């Protein structure tokens, strides 16, 4: 491995974000540019693969240029390239991988293929540079990347192994046991829809825009905020057709008693669909409709969070996890982050580490960070594959 201050150019194009980042192996993240395609995919209510890959083609070079500029560096100073090669949309992955391979060839630099799911996990380890302006909380059970393993702050728990990681994104929902860097065992995964996919599909049912996760969460929060303080602000239940909705327990928690660490969200999605169709089959005023929608969003979010948190805590107990962590787009969910924090307080030997919200969705910083750890831990072995690797739509971590 090259000298200490090696620079990695990370590239991520697996779905609908075009992203490039510069990561210094020892110092940390210097820049992270993300060009989102949300506005494009909003029109169709979801990602159209062909449209996504075309947008990546348009964005990839400007995004790389901006990442280099922001990091105050240039291509000829880059020591390694790292790119997401799986899993993801083939057309989208190909844009990033072909760009990275071309740059690696022209610059004669090594290229590291990175698994997107592993990248999400490494969002937990991103260390921003410079970190001088960051305020460390005095005492906290929570680690976020900038205070992670910081020797100056012994009150902050370290990301110790074994760790139980809940990976929740638009395409995946898995519980992973991480025994060390690059050492993973999948404990369980979804048997049908991913959690993020369920958020997106339920949002469509409720007439909320893409991406569903943040929009459902926003609407659910509007309802939640009214619960503890002022009951009078809660929509009058007699005005809606299903007064049972709104207590947080209406929808089923599938597979909670399954005895394993797998998930299933398609039954929940269908339950929301049928209940929504039934409750909106009569004429509702706009106010009634909006009230009902906030309550459905709330009930759905409560169900998903309960399922995810319950199984994560079970796994943490079973495997005596020293750390519990979450990652992937759905890990940005405020309610999920808070619920896990509450439940982990009951596990005295378990620390709670979570990525900054801005690194939960797809980004190249996590790809650069993952490559940095691989270089640190596996050294030359990590780069032995050269350019001879494929893109894959499906690949286990
Ligand atoms: O990790 P990601 O950016 O892309 C994939 O690898 O799939 O995850 C995207 C998913 C989408 O389904 C989106 O609705 C969901 O993450 N998501 C959220 C939130 N923000 C994004 N789900 C729930 N709450 C959020 N705040
Ligand atoms: Zn992702």
Residue 9 Cα to ligand 1 middle (Å): 24
**109: number of CA atoms within 13 Å, CB side?**
24
- In sequence order, what DSSP letters do the residues of 298-344 get, joined into one string? HHHHHHHHHHHHHHHHHHHHHTT-SEEEEESGGGG-HHHHHHHHHHH
- Assess whether the previous peptide bond of 356 is cis (omega < 30° from 0): no
pLDDT at 383: 61
pLDDT at 141: 46
Q: Is 188 in the pocket of ligand 1 (CB under 6 A)?
A: no
Q: Which helix H or strand E contains 81, and what residues bound it? A: strand 80-86
Distance of CA 356 to the CA centre of its chain: 10
| Region of residue 259 (phi > 0: left; psi between -120 and 50: alpha; otherwise: beta) | left
C-alpha to C-alpha distance for 226 and 249, rounded to whole angstroms: 17
> Which of 35, 199, 356 best tests ligand 1's pocket when mutated (most atoms within 8 Å of CB)?
199
Q: Is 16 in the pocket of ligand 1 (CB under 6 A)?
A: no
Angle CA(102)–CA(106)–CA(111) in degrees, nearest 5? 60
CA dist 232 → 62, 228, 238, 285, 301 (Å): 52, 10, 13, 19, 23
CA dist 225 → 141, 233, 308 (Å): 25, 10, 22
Nearest CA to ligand 1 atom 14: 213
Locate 183 and state its tokens: 């050492």
Q: Is 170 in the pocket of ligand 1 (CB under 6 A)?
A: yes
> Which of 87, 116, 169, 359 best tests ligand 1's pocket when mutated (most atoms within 8 Å of CB)?
169
**pLDDT tens readout for residues 104-137:** 999 999 999 999 999 999 999 999 886 443 333 3
C-alpha to C-alpha distance for 364 and 9, rounded to whole angstroms: 9
Q: Is 195 in the pocket of ligand 1 (CB under 6 A)?
A: no
Nearest CA to ligand 1 atom 22: 213
**378: number of CA atoms within 13 Å, CB side?**
14
Give the ligand at the shortest distance from the Cα of 213: 1
CA dist 396 → 70, 118, 131, 246, 351 (Å): 33, 9, 34, 38, 26
pLDDT at 2: 57
Q: Which helix H or strand E contains 178, and what residues bound it? A: strand 173-180
Q: Is 214 in the pocket of ligand 1 (CB under 6 A)?
A: yes
pTM score of the predicted model = 0.91
**304: number of CA atoms within 13 Å, CB side?**
36
Q: Which residues of the chain fall short of a pLDDT of 70? A: 1-4, 130-157, 228-243, 379-385
Nearest CA to ligand 1 atom 2: 329
DSSP state of 357: G
What angle, 0 to 180 degrees and rounded to 10, lies between the N-to-C axes of helices 212-226 and 286-318? 100
The residue assigned the tokens 């079973």 is: 318
Ligand 1 atom at shortest distance from the alpha carbon of 197: 12
Give the ligand at the shortest distance from the Cα of 17: 1
How many residues comprise the chain? 397
> Which of 92, 361, 366 best tests ligand 1's pocket when mutated (most atoms within 8 Å of CB)?
361
Q: Is 129 exposed, middle or buried (0-12, 13-18, 19+ CB in 10 A)?
A: middle
Locate 78 and state its tokens: 């880059």
pLDDT at 75: 97
The C-alpha torsion from 352 through 357 and 358 to 362, rounded to 10°, is 80
Ligand 1 atom at shortest distance from the alpha carbon of 199: 14
Residue 316 Cα to ligand 1 middle (Å): 23
């Amino acid at each position: 491995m090259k000298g200490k201050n090696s620079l990695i150019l990370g590239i991520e194009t697996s779905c609908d974000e075009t992203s490039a980042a510069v990561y210094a192996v020892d110092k940390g993240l210097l820049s992270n540019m993300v060009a989102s395609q949300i506005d494009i995919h909003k029109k169709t209510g979801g990602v159209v693969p062909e449209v996504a890959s075309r947008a990546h083609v348009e964005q990839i070079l400007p995004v790389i240029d901006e990442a280099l500029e922001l990091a105050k560096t240039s291509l000829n100073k880059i020591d390694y390239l790292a790119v997401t090669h799986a899993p993801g949309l083939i057309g989208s992955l190909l844009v990033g991988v072909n760009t990275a391979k071309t740059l690696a060839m022209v610059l004669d630099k090594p290229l590291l293929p990175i698994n997107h799911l592993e990248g999400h996990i490494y969002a937990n380890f991103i260390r921003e540079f410079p970190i001088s302006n960051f305020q460390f909380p005095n005492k906290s059970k929570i680690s976020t990347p900038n205070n992670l393993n910081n020797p100056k702050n012994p009150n902050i728990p370290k990301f110790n192994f074994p760790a139980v990681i809940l990976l929740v994104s638009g395409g995946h929902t898995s519980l992973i046991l991480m025994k060390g860097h690059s050492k993973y065992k999948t404990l369980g995964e979804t048997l049908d829809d991913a959690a993020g996919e369920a958020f997106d599909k339920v949002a469509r049912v409720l007439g909320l825009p893409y991406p569903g996760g943040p929009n459902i969460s926003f609407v659910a929060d509007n309802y939640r905020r009214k619960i503890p303080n002022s009951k009078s602000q809660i929509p009058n239940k007699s005005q809606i057709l299903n007064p049972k909705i709104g207590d947080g327990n209406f929808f089923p928690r599938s597979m909670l008693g399954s005895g394993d660490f797998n998930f299933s969200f398609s039954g929940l999605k269908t339950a929301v669909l049928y209940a929504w169709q039934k409750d909106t089959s009569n004429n509702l005023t706009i106010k009634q409709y909006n009230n009902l929608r906030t309550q459905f969003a709330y009930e759905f979010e409560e169900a998903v969070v309960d399922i995810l948190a319950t199984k994560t805590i079970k796994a943490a107990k079973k495997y005596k996890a020293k750390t519990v962590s979450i990652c992937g787009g759905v890990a940005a969910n405020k309610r999920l982050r808070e619920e896990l924090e509450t439940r982990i307080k009951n596990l005295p030997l378990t620390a709670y580490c979570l990525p900054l919200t801005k690194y939960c969705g797809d980004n190249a910083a996590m790809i650069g960070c993952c490559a940095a750890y691989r270089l640190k831990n596996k050294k030359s072995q990590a780069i032995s594959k050269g350019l001879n690797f494929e893109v894959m739509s499906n690949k286990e971590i």
